[in-house]
Every structure is written in structure tokens, then in C-alpha cells.
Amino acid sequence: MSVLVVGSIALDTVKTPVEEHSDLLGGSASYAALAASFFSPVKLVGVVGSDFPESEFAFWKARKIDSEGVQRVSGKTFRWSGEYSWDLNTRRTQSIALNVFEHFKPELPDSYRKTDFVLLANIAPSLQTHVLDQMDRPRFIAADTMDLWIETARKDLDALLPRIDLLILNDSEAREITKETSLIKAGRQIRRMGPRHVAIKKGEHGALLFGEDEFFSCGAYPLEDIHDPTGAGDTFAGAIAGYLAGRVGTVHFTDLRKAMIYGSVLASFCVEAFSLERLRTLSMDEINQRYETFKLMSQFEVTG
Amino acid sequence: MSVLVVGSIALDTVKTPVEEHSDLLGGSASYAALAASFFSPVKLVGVVGSDFPESEFAFWKARKIDSEGVQRVSGKTFRWSGEYSWDLNTRRTQSIALNVFEHFKPELPDSYRKTDFVLLANIAPSLQTHVLDQMDRPRFIAADTMDLWIETARKDLDALLPRIDLLILNDSEAREITKETSLIKAGRQIRRMGPRHVAIKKGEHGALLFGEDEFFSCGAYPLEDIHDPTGAGDTFAGAIAGYLAGRVGTVHFTDLRKAMIYGSVLASFCVEAFSLERLRTLSMDEINQRYETFKLMSQFEVTG
């Protein structure tokens, strides 16, 4: 089955202590769609300007990412620029130019409305809701969010949460939205706000998954060298949604576990190079190999 | 087989935002020995003053913790007092009175010298070394350490490390001793300082284990309510050493994995009550039940 992915499409300028790259493909939907495409066909929703490289449309086509839902508007593409600290653990946004994104209102092509799986990648909750309102009863809805929306669009976010099957957010956001220090308490409390499942991303410490009376904890794939952390969270969310859409049958907690692992594996590849460069050349064999290595590294008991 | 445990024995006064308790049993060896005793007989080494409760000796005896190596010296027992922050994540030492611990020099009874497994719980590296020097080729040596020794006794610590099979330390200490931000780099670098294996404790985020070309990552058992974090690290180390001693045959990486899990499980019980109160009433059934729950919560794929 397909997965609809809506979010931002941007041209990013990213500076780390050792490298700087300008105008590379970025945005939550770009990362999420490419990560999802390893597991299922993708229907992409977003907006780009007239300066957006035609080659990316060709790349999406080659990857079975349907770009009919990507609006092309005259003007400049959304631009983000950021700089990472020496240890890559914190980043400072240097500039944001919303450009064509400022008046973006996602409109779904008819062919998108019956898509069974949806990933509302990180954009304003009002836009995420607007997408859901155009859909014909999707089977599974995942949503990502960020601190900005918790702080500036809390009412919209609260209204969205009960419609969500899986909410994905990071540890500091989980603490912020609940005012709880304990992530265990926070995860359980967020579930009571509406989402059926909550995934809390903890960066180098892995991720936690909360369901009704169910819980899953996984570490992060151990990496010594990280080149660019940008998009790791979007990649994580995209792989989860893609993996779930690529399966057959009802989504059980056990499927969500595997989805989280594929999310972690794809995110671990994402940060090995700037922008989407590593994901562009990644193969399913490499993904499955890392999945197996990761499994072995996390198993309590190893047999045979 | 037995495990020799050497470390501090103290009477602790601990204040959390909700409770305060005075003169309860504490110290690295007290926690470690009791945790180890669930898995194997323990030979305890330490020092107490004339004010130390006789009832603790009776308790040790009932738990097959041999206290022949515990020196009773006239004077007061080592006392520590600390206060935890509102979220229990940081603690401030309010007072330390070394008392009889100030001139402590661990001397092993003859019956201790051939013990196969050793846990050098958290005390000065020079004392840890002094214990090893009295032993007759133990099969496996685990050692815990802390920031204080990294800062004030680095030379002693560096000399000890090559003699160690498993070094246990927490994330901030691993970063401090290596000047590395990445815990993956730090763990591998510490191995190059001498210990065959390195376990890095990450509190609520679990623990990492580094061996030669081998790696294991586990989360923490999810707890909503923590009453007193004191001794969690000592309990973790004690359970690891006890579990390894309680098995038969050579210690393989796969045994260390299970040991880490038992360490996490025992630590999760430890923090449920003040001092050693929860560990005193804990049963092996409760431990095994939590081990199984924890395993299920961490499994990538669940069958059956």
C-alpha cells in the first residue's frame, strides 16, 4: 500500500564544525518521503518555487515517489540555514526564508484521497489537519511535530492529537508538552491526550514506544562519526510510515516495534552524509544488513 | 562460585523532594554485595565503626554474605549525606564524614584469596589495587569507579585499568576520562586504556557494553516513580558480578549481556525505595519476572 507524506520541502544550507554545504535538498517531507520509499510507494505533498531543481522531480519519479501533490509556485523555494555546535548536539537556526511556503495550503489530488497510510511530517498542525480533512478514512495516521508548534500552535496541536495513531516527537518536546521530567510518565501522559501510540526520539539514546499497556525501548545504532544530523528525525518518521504501509494487514504493536527499528536504521544512514546524499545511494540490502546487526547488538539472549 | 566485593560501607542520610531518612545502610559495597547475593555467595570486604548495627551482620549471614573481611574498628562508621534535586536527576553531597574509613586498608582473610570473581566496587583505585595484589589469580575482575578518582587519582586508576576484565562507569565519567563527546567513541577508547570490556551506565537511558569487536545496548527498565536513586550504580555492578560468578564456565560476551540486564533489573528495584529496603525483601521470582518483562519490552521481533 502507499503512504501519503506531507511536510516541508526546502533548500538547506548547513554548517558543521568541519563542513558547509549550500542549497541542498532538505525539509521534513523530502527526508520522510525518501526514507518511506524504501518500503512502499509514496504520494508526496508539498510546495516548491521556480528555482527548485527539475532533477529532484526526476529522482522522485525513479524512486516511485508520486509528486503530483507537489505544487510548483512562482517564487523561491523555502530556505533554511543552520549551524551545529562542535559536538553536533545542538544547532542554531541562522536564517529562515519561508518564500513560497508562507502561503502554502496543501491540496490533495483526487488520486491521493484514498491513501491508507498517512505521515503528517513536521509542519504546522493546522496544515496537518487540513490534509486529514481531505482524506477518505485512512487506516493509519502518523504525525511528527516540534517545539515550535507546542509553543505557538498548542490549540491546533491538541485538536489534532485524538485523530493520530502514532505521534512522533523528541524527548525535550515530550517533556515540554507534559511538563513531566520522566519520559516514562511523559509518554503515558501524551497518550492520554489522544494518540493511540507515542514514539519518543532520544537521539543517541534511541527511542521509546508507548501503546495501550505496551512498551518498547530500543537504543540507537552505534555510530562513531556523524556528518550531518539534519533530517534524522524526519527520516525516522518516514521509514516508520513507509514500513507500516508496505506490510499487509492490521498494524499491531509488534509491527510498530519493527517500524521503529527500521526508522532508527534509516536515521543512522541519514546522518552519515550531508542532506539526503547517503539515502540517495542506499540499498535495501544495506538496510537489512544493518537491521540484523542492530538486532544482534540489542538482544538479551543470543542463541545458536 | 563466590564473588569478592570490596567497597565502602556507610550510614547514609538522604533527602529527596518528598522524603528524608537518616543513618540508613549505604555505601558501594553494601549495595553491591546484596545485589550480588541473589546470584552467588559473597565475600564482603570493608570497614565499619563501633556504632554499626549488629543486625546488619545477622542479615548478611542470612544472605550468605561472608563478613569475615569486614573490619570492625572503634570509632564511627563512614557517613554520607546528600540531597536530590526536584527531578532526582542531580544530587548534592551535603556532608561526608570518613570516620573509620579514613585509614581503611582492606586486608583479605586467607579464605578470600582464592575467590574467582572480584568486584572492586567504588573506592579509591589504590585500595582496589591493594585488594587485587592480595588475590591468587582471580578469573574475572570487575571494577566500578567515579569522577572523583578520575580527577584526583588518575595515575592510580590508569595503572589499575589493564588488570580489569570489566570496567563500569557512567556516561559523564566516560566522557570525562576520554574527553570524547560520543559515548561510542568513548567506550572504545576506554577499552584501549586496558579493560577487556567497558560498561557505560546512562541512567534512564540504559547502558552500553563494549567488547572486542562486540557491542551491546540495552535500555533502562521503565519506571514511573523513583524514590531514591542512591546506590543504583553499585547495585548494577553488584548484580553483574554476582550473576557472572553464579554461572559455570568461561565468561563470554553473551553472558555479559545477560549480566547487564540483571544489573539493570536489580537497579530498577533498588530505586523503588530508600536505601537497601527494596532489595532486602526482593525475591528471585520477582527478579526473573521483571527480566522477562524487560526482555519483551526490548525485543525487535516477538514470536508466538
Per-residue pLDDT tens digits for A59-90: 999 999 999 999 999 999 999 999 999 888 88
**Which chain B residue has the Cα nearest residue A304?**
B254
Which of A170, A217, A243, A302 to probe the B interface (max B CBs under 10 A)?
A: A217
Distance in angstroms (rounded) separating the CA atoms of residues B241 and B225: 27
DSSP state, residue A222: P
Distance in angstroms (rounded) separating the CA atoms of residues B7 and B164: 16
Do residues B209 and B257 make contact, with C-beta atoms less than 8 angstroms apart?
Answer: yes
Distance from A230 to chain B by nearest Cα, in Å?
17
A184 touches chain B (CB under 8 A): yes
What's residue B46's pLDDT? 98
> How many other C-beta atoms can be found within 10 angstroms of the C-beta atom of residue A184?
21
Single out the residue of A3, A38, A4, A15 nearest to residue A281, CA to CA. Answer: A38
B258 touches chain A (CB under 8 A): yes
Per-chain mean pLDDT for chain A: 96
**Which chain B residue has the Cα nearest residue A88?**
B181
- In chain B, which residues have their Cβ closer than 8 Å to the Cβ of A224? 182, 184-185, 188
Inspect the interface and report whether the beta carbons of B219 and A208 lie closer than 8 Å. Answer: yes
And the C-alpha cell for B150?
A: 578520575
Distance in angstroms (rounded) separating the CA atoms of residues B233 and B240: 11
> How many other C-beta atoms can be found within 10 angstroms of the C-beta atom of residue A164?
23
A207 touches chain B (CB under 8 A): no
B41 touches chain A (CB under 8 A): no
Residue A164 has pLDDT above 70, yes or no: yes
Residue contacts between A and B (CB atoms, under 8 Å): 93
Distance in angstroms (rounded) separating the CA atoms of residues B291 and A300: 10
* Cβ within 8 Å of residue A245, ≥6 positions away: A1, A2, A3, A36, A39, A40, A116, A117, A140
And the C-alpha cell for A70?
A: 507537489
Which of B299, B301, B302, B303 to probe the A interface (max A CBs under 10 A)?
A: B299
Rounded to 10 degrees, what is the CA torsion of A127, A128, A134, A140?
A: 170
Single out the residue of A283, A284, A272, A290 nearest to residue A232, CA to CA. Answer: A272
- In chain B, which residues have their Cβ closer than 8 Å to the Cβ of A208? 219, 222
Inspect the interface and report whether the beta carbons of B300 and A298 lie closer than 8 Å. Answer: yes
Maximum Cα–Cα distance across chain B:
61
The beta-carbon neighbor of B302 closest among A188, A215, A254 is: A254
The beta-carbon neighbor of B254 closest among A183, A206, A302 is: A302
Task: Report the half-sphere exposure of A79 (CA within 13 A, side-chain side).
Answer: 15
Single out the residue of B45, B205, B34, B238 nearest to residue B127, CA to CA. Answer: B45
Inspect the interface and report whether the beta carbons of A297 and B216 lie closer than 8 Å. Answer: yes
Q: CA A274, A64, A271 angle in degrees (round to 5)?
A: 20
A191 touches chain B (CB under 8 A): no
B185 touches chain A (CB under 8 A): yes
Can you say whether the dihedral through the CA atoms of B31, B249, A300, B257 is positive or negative? positive
Q: Is the ipTM of this complex over 0.85?
A: yes
pLDDT > 70 fraction of chain B, expressed in percent and rounded? 99
Do residues B58 and B304 make contact, with C-beta atoms less than 8 angstroms apart?
Answer: no
A302 touches chain B (CB under 8 A): yes
Distance in angstroms (rounded) separating the CA atoms of residues A184 and B285: 24
- In chain B, which residues have their Cβ closer than 8 Å to the Cβ of A182? 87, 204, 223-224, 226
**Which chain B residue has the Cα nearest residue A293?**
B215
What's residue A304's pLDDT? 52
Single out the residue of B85, B267, B145, B171 nearest to residue A202, CA to CA. Answer: B171
- In chain B, which residues have their Cβ closer than 8 Å to the Cβ of A202? 205
Distance from B89 to chain A by nearest Cα, in Å?
9
Distance in angstroms (rounded) separating the CA atoms of residues A166 and A149: 17
If DSSP codes are grouped into helix, strand and coil, which group holds residue B303? coil
A304 touches chain B (CB under 8 A): no
Distance in angstroms (rounded) separating the CA atoms of residues A11 and B126: 57
Single out the residue of B225, B293, B212, B220 nearest to residue B263, CA to CA. Answer: B220
What's residue A87's pLDDT? 83
Do residues A124 and A156 make contact, with C-beta atoms less than 8 angstroms apart?
Answer: yes
Inspect the interface and report whether the beta carbons of B215 and A223 lie closer than 8 Å. Answer: no
Mean pLDDT of A197-209: 96
User: What is the mean pLDDT for each group of 10 consecutive residues in chain B (304 residues)?
Assistant: 97 94 96 98 98 97 97 97 90 94 96 98 97 97 96 97 98 96 96 98 96 95 92 98 94 96 98 96 98 95 73
Distance in angstroms (rounded) separating the CA atoms of residues A222 and B211: 13
Characterize the bridge pairing of strands A3-6 and A42-48.
parallel
- In chain A, which residues have their Cβ closer than 8 Å to the Cβ of B85? none
Query: Residues in chain B, how many?
Result: 304
The beta-carbon neighbor of A181 closest among B89, B294, B295 is: B89
Taking the model in full, what pTM does it have?
A: 0.93
Distance in angstroms (rounded) separating the CA atoms of residues B84 and A235: 38
Residue A80 bridge partners (DSSP): A12, A96
DSSP state, residue B65: E
If DSSP codes are grouped into helix, strand and coil, which group holds residue A288? helix
Mean pLDDT of A28-48: 98
If DSSP codes are grouped into helix, strand and coil, which group holds residue B210? strand
Query: Residues in chain A, how many?
Result: 304
Do residues B291 and B264 make contact, with C-beta atoms less than 8 angstroms apart?
Answer: no
Characterize the bridge pairing of strands A140-144 and A166-170.
parallel
And the C-alpha cell for B292?
A: 522477562
Q: CA B234, B236, B237 angle in degrees (round to 5)?
A: 65
And the C-alpha cell for B101?
A: 574509613
Distance in angstroms (rounded) separating the CA atoms of residues B233 and A292: 30
- In chain A, which residues have their Cβ closer than 8 Å to the Cβ of B208? 219, 222
Mean pLDDT of A116-130: 97
A148 touches chain B (CB under 8 A): no
DSSP state, residue B102: G
